[in-house]
Amino acid sequence: SQTIHQWPATLVQPVGSPLSLECTVEGTSNPNLYWYRQAAGRGLQLLFYSVGIGQISSEVPQNLSASRPQDRQFILSSKKLLLSDSGFYLCAWSNRETQYFGPGTRLLVL
Partner 1 sequence: AQSVTQPDIHITVSEGASLELRCNYSYGATPYLFWYVQSPGQGLQLLLKYFSGDTLVQGIKGFEAEFKRSQSSFNLRKPSVHWSDAAEYFCAGESNTGNQFYFGTGTSLTVIP
The CB density around residue 8, as the number of other CB atoms within 10 Å, is 12
Q: How far is the CB of 46 from partner 1 (least distance, A)?
A: 6
d(CA 4, CA 101): 7
Number of residues that bind partner 1 (CB under 8 A): 24
- Cβ neighbours of residue 20 under 8 Å, at least 6 residues apart? 75, 76, 77
Q: Does 3 bind partner 1 (CB under 8 A)?
A: no
Task: Please give the residues from 71 up to 110 whose contact with partner 1 meets the rule CB under 8 A.
Answer: 90, 92, 94, 96-99, 101-104
Q: Is 39 exposed, middle or buried (0-12, 13-18, 19+ CB in 10 A)?
A: middle
Nearer to partner 1, 85 or 102 (CB): 102
Positions that interact with partner 1 (CB under 8 A):
32, 34, 36, 41-46, 49, 51, 57, 59, 90, 92, 94, 96-99, 101-104
